[in-house]
Amino acid sequence: MLDPMDLQKKLKSIKTEYAEIRISESFSTTIHLSKRMIETCKVGTSTQGSVRVYNKGCWGFFAFTSLDMVDYAMQQALQLSNIQKKENAPTLSSLQMNVIKEKTNVLIPPNTVSLEEKMNVLTQYNDILKDSNLIENTNVLYRDSLTQYVLCNTDGSIVEYDRSFCGLSLSAIAKDGMVIQPYGESDANYAGFEIVKDKHPVAEEVVRTATELVQAPQIKSGVYNVIADPKLAGVFIHEAFGHLSEADFVYENPRMKEIMVIGKRFGPDILNVVDDGTLPYAGYIPCDDEGIKPEKTYLIKNGILHSRLHSRETAVKMGEEVTGNARAITASASPIVRMTNTYIENGNSTVEELFEKLWNGVYVVGALGGQTNLEMFTFTPAYAYEVKKGKKTKKLRECMLTGNVFVTLANIEAIANDCTLFGGLGGCGKQGQAPLPVSSGGPHILINNVLIGGKGAGSRKTKSK
Amino acid sequence: MLEVEKLNLSRIQETCAKQKTRWWDVFAEYAVHKTYSFKNNVFYGVRESEIKGYGIRMNIDGKTGFSFCNDIAMLDSVMEYARETARYGEIEEYDLPAKQPTPHVECYDGNIFNKDTQYYLQTLQNVVDTIRSAYSDCMVDAGLGCVDGYIHLINSRGFDSGYHYSRQGSTISALRILPDGSRVQVYESITWNSDVNIHELSERIIQKLNFSKQTVKMPFGNYYVIFTPKAFGQIMGVVLQGLTGRSIERGISRYIGKFGEKVFGRQFTVYDNPLIDFAPGSYPFDDEGIPAKSKTIIENGYVKTYIAHLQSAHLLHVQPTGNASRGYAILPQESFSNIVVEPGTTSFKDMIAQMGTGIIIDQFIGFGQSNTLMGDFSANLDLAWLVVQGEVKGRLTNSMVSGDVTTMLNDKIVLSSEREWGGDAYLPYVLCRINYSTT
């Protein structure tokens, strides 16, 4: 790895408003087992880097995969940043200098565990997943990476971060007649091999759920009152409001600024939404990819829009404070405004009270994914239960929830007090950068009038007690 | 290819040849990208990158290991990792292809690199101005870039060949906030291995913004629907899922037992063709060295064949189809090349008239999240319009559609005479029926 002090000296030779150099060297292992075969067993190294320069409203960016290209990259990025100067472009003035040297705390460094041992543990999980006649295929996906990351910028910041990321995904595809049903669980974090050990109960739960779901009825499409579990509540708030809080969607659009004006009501008083990159989950960062430390940012406080997520550029252009949310998927990608750990804070109800309030409706559990266009969103639970007279009844498969962001936030009726955050081997995608490690979560939440898509055109609508 | 890269490949070849292996291959990639972008109607910046990487597979005692690096200085470590992972790799008993004649297909047009910065800035500015002359309140993001790339494959059976490819691509999106506060975002993109017609994209965007001036509602029901080629591209993803050797070998393809049977409407014929000059999915040989060839995947509704790379072809006792795709850090996987759907005889305009009342769908949200293994889908409508008596009435919001592709693409479907390229698919407009739900 190149000496950060040398990189800092190189930056001082550039005459510009703002510039940064980011470099990473990684060593990674990926193992993928399926029911019948070892799909992947690979170990490799990658070298990535970039230089980004800002001059009078224009960004020049050059990415490379060879450390001997740093000087060339600096020249190119500087030249590209001078292609077109804008009159009255805001200046990216210097911010606080941060000197950070950090290493992930790990109990079992992944590089101290042999491939043989990793294979042994993963094979045990795969054997559990295969242990049903209804399971047609399995997927045990393991990934670890050890990365030496360096960032230097013209604030004078030097960030050296030796990070260890480790994760596991266990899934099974059940088949019964013509019905094929996948189900899976995943966990990942900045940690060591310890977080993938002793996951036998998770594998047992995966195979049990997949085999139950393949025989479960499909949900009928319609408008329902729903309770979302903490995992789905997290995907909901990530998709429904987190992305809308990313200032690069707002900062130069006058109409969006009117819609997203600070102080506007977006939900009930009980709703508090936070993004916090300092928490020790998958979205943790010691600083963002512009050298700015993260902080606890209230996006919604007591139902009111409180603040938003910023990069250096969006903060200057909107006259607001930076929040440390400029993140890049790799050192060769440009930082853009991203979430970190995003969650709904605890409310004042118990889970039991939520079910009592729902009475008849749907309880949606787990998350397969979600997407938004900043006005409408979708999120897909792993499965659902029909709720009758306040009790969970039969399990249902194949449902997708959708709605208008603003209407759905306003339709949150109650929030429980069991907030939990979740990460995973998947992550967030934006502008071609995926999967970025993030976590999301919340307590159980009760939302009224949610459109659920499923087989058959229904028109049912449930009412709370 | 740079001279230094030739030297690097020779060094890797020599090092691999010294290893005690049953077989080995090296996949090398080198690419220079440059993209100019406008954000919110004004020039934003330029992004350039120069990426190279090497992936090395080694089959030792029948098991395959794999490693990769960007920096040739890591070569010795990479050899060691490939050997080590081979101890735990899958048993792969097939052989790699020897050197053999490959078909000619045009993948490179050097002319796209002759344009200067001013050309890019002016072209993008014209696009922004054209869209904003129709909708002055519109916020336009536009990108235009090109790639100068080279792929080289070497293996232990004497295969030693590479090819240059060029690529030009553009994505344009236009955002309007309507007076009622609703948000309309239309995006269009095009990729080609030669010059692209970016102005065609702005015309499409303006037409779609014209359709979206008003927000309208329609009740739950089963309706006629027209998928634009862009939306049908996502439907095709579900159609083609299960038509790979891997999914058949794993037992999770819904087409198992249905090859040679009629599954779709008789109008529906699909080709996989990697030999279309300058198309983005074209190549002379696949990423394992098998010569490229065109295949009929579905013919008049009958499911004819599936794609297979070396490993699944060996396990299923069929010939590899030339559809292996890999990156330097990724093992070969089966991937379709250019997907071409045969057109129909009805124009898009006549199709709207024929539909009477129904929906035109152009963009989804969350399309891939449903359980598509069975051919089912369920997705929110990001951009869709209500048509009444052949006239577009406005945009439908807060609504979704669901169905399964087998039932939907039946004998009653109508395919348009016009087709559009979207990524590496050349698709018509498609008229069929679908379940619609709304809040």
**CA–CA distance, A209 with A395 (Å, rounded to integer):** 10
A202: tokens are: 């998770």
Mean confidence (pLDDT) of chain B? 94
**CA–CA distance, A196 with A186 (Å, rounded to integer):** 10
Interfacial B residues in 300-339 facing A (CB < 8 Å): 329, 331
User: Is B366 within 8 Å of A378 when comparing Cβ atoms?
Assistant: yes
**DSSP helix/strand/coil, A211:** helix
Interfacial B residues in 176-195 facing A (CB < 8 Å): 177, 181-183, 185
Delimit the CATH 3.30.2290.10 region(s) of chain B.
3-208
C-alpha of A309 from chain center: 14
CA nearest neighbour of A235 among A417, A407, A427: A427
3-state helix, strand, coil in chain B (%, to 5): 25, 40, 35
Is residue B390 scored above 70 in pLDDT? yes
Is residue B327 scored above 70 in pLDDT? yes
Is residue B7 scored above 90 in pLDDT? no
Predicted confidence at residue A240, as pLDDT, reads 84
A370 interface with B at CB cutoff 8 Å: yes
Apex B243 CA angle, A399 and A133, nearest 5: 60
Predicted confidence at residue A459, as pLDDT, reads 45
Comparing CB atoms, the residue among A64, A179, A457 nearest residue B220 is A457
- List CB contacts (< 8 A) between B70 and chain A: 45-48, 65-66
A136: tokens are: 């047609």
Who contacts B27 (Cβ-Cβ below 8 Å, separation ≥6)? Answer: B54, B55, B57, B151, B152, B153, B287, B326, B327, B328
CATH topology of domain B3-208: PmbA/TldD fold (3.30.2290)
B2 vs A436, residue with greater confidence: A436
3-state helix, strand, coil in chain A (%, to 5): 25, 45, 35
Tens digit of each residue's pLDDT (9 = 90 or more) over A74-126:
999 999 999 988 888 888 878 899 999 999 999 999 999 999 999 999 999 99
Tens digit of each residue's pLDDT (9 = 90 or more) over A265-282:
999 999 999 999 999 999
Predicted confidence at residue A253, as pLDDT, reads 85
Q: How many Cβ pairs closer than 8 A exist between chain A and B?
A: 252
What percent of chain B has pLDDT above 90? 82
Who contacts A123 (Cβ-Cβ below 8 Å, separation ≥6)? Answer: A33
Class level of CATH domain A4-213: alpha beta
Q: Identify the residue whose tokens are 């008239």.
A: B353
Interfacial A residues in 199-228 facing B (CB < 8 Å): 221-223
Q: What distance in Å separates residue B103's CA from the closest CA in chain A?
A: 31
For residues B325 and B332, the answer to whether their CB atoms sit within 8 Å is yes
Predicted confidence at residue B2, as pLDDT, reads 62
For residues A202 and A175, the answer to whether their CB atoms sit within 8 Å is no
A318 interface with B at CB cutoff 8 Å: no
Closest CA in chain B for residue A179? B374
User: Is A370 within 8 Å of B366 when comparing Cβ atoms?
Assistant: yes
For residues A39 and A32, the answer to whether their CB atoms sit within 8 Å is yes
User: Is A453 within 8 Å of B401 when comparing Cβ atoms?
Assistant: yes
Predicted confidence at residue B137, as pLDDT, reads 94
B58: tokens are: 């080694």
Amino acid symbol at A361: G
Delimit the CATH 3.30.2290.10 region(s) of chain A.
4-213
Comparing CB atoms, the residue among A180, A369, A375 nearest residue B373 is A180
User: Is A453 within 8 Å of B66 when comparing Cβ atoms?
Assistant: no
A202-206, A307-311, B45-49, B181-185: range with lowest mean pLDDT: B181-185
Comparing CB atoms, the residue among A175, A222, A376 nearest residue B380 is A376
Q: What is the DSSP letter of B188?
A: E
Comparing CB atoms, the residue among A41, A45, A60 nearest residue B45 is A60
User: Is A64 within 8 Å of B435 when comparing Cβ atoms?
Assistant: no
Comparing CB atoms, the residue among A65, A182, A407 nearest residue B52 is A65
B-interface mutation test, from A16, A27, A41, most B Cβ less than 10 A away: A41
Predicted confidence at residue A1, as pLDDT, reads 76
User: Is A256 within 8 Å of B177 when comparing Cβ atoms?
Assistant: yes
- Residue A295 phi/psi, 5-degree rounding, is -150, 170
A226: tokens are: 């729903």
Tens digit of each residue's pLDDT (9 = 90 or more) over B253-290:
999 999 999 999 999 999 999 999 999 999 999 999 99
Closest CA in chain B for residue A369? B369
User: Is A137 within 8 Å of B378 when comparing Cβ atoms?
Assistant: no
Predicted confidence at residue A457, as pLDDT, reads 45
Comparing CB atoms, the residue among B71, B181, B439 nearest residue A259 is B181
Tens digit of each residue's pLDDT (9 = 90 or more) over B198-207:
999 999 999 9
CA nearest neighbour of A168 among A191, A146, A185, A192: A185
A409: tokens are: 């936030």
User: Is B177 within 8 Å of A259 when comparing Cβ atoms?
Assistant: yes
Comparing CB atoms, the residue among B221, B373, B382 nearest residue A182 is B373
User: Is A38 within 8 Å of B88 when comparing Cβ atoms?
Assistant: yes
Low-confidence ranges of chain A (pLDDT < 70): 454-465
Is residue B248 scored above 90 in pLDDT? yes
Check: pTM over 0.90? Answer yes or no.
Answer: yes
A-interface mutation test, from B49, B94, B115, B176, most A Cβ less than 10 A away: B49
- List CB contacts (< 8 A) between B435 and chain A: 221, 456-457
Tens digit of each residue's pLDDT (9 = 90 or more) over B70-127:
988 888 999 999 999 999 998 999 999 999 999 999 999 999 999 999 999 999 999 9
B44 interface with A at CB cutoff 8 Å: yes
**CA–CA distance, A309 with A315 (Å, rounded to integer):** 9
B-interface mutation test, from A17, A76, A180, most B Cβ less than 10 A away: A180
Cα–Cα separations (whole angstroms), residue A249 to A216, A308, A339, A432, B340: 41, 11, 13, 15, 36
| Residue B183 β-bridge partners | B177
- List CB contacts (< 8 A) between A65 and chain B: 50-53, 70-71
User: Is A65 within 8 Å of B48 when comparing Cβ atoms?
Assistant: no
A76 interface with B at CB cutoff 8 Å: yes
Closest CA in chain A for residue B137? A255
Predicted confidence at residue A455, as pLDDT, reads 57
A-interface mutation test, from B75, B90, B136, most A Cβ less than 10 A away: B90
Comparing CB atoms, the residue among B329, B370, B382 nearest residue A398 is B370
B125 interface with A at CB cutoff 8 Å: no
Helices (H) and strands (E) in chain B, counts: 9, 20
Q: In what order do the strands lie in the sheet with A439-442?
A: A304-305, A296-301, A273-276, A341-344, A439-442, A420-422
B-interface mutation test, from A27, A88, A225, A255, most B Cβ less than 10 A away: A255
Interfacial B residues in 381-420 facing A (CB < 8 Å): 382, 397-402
Q: Give alpha helix (H) positions in A82-218.
A: 115-129, 200-213
Question: Which helix H or strand E contains B77, and what residues bound it?
Answer: helix B75-86
Q: What distance in Å separates residue A86's CA from the closest CA in chain B?
A: 9
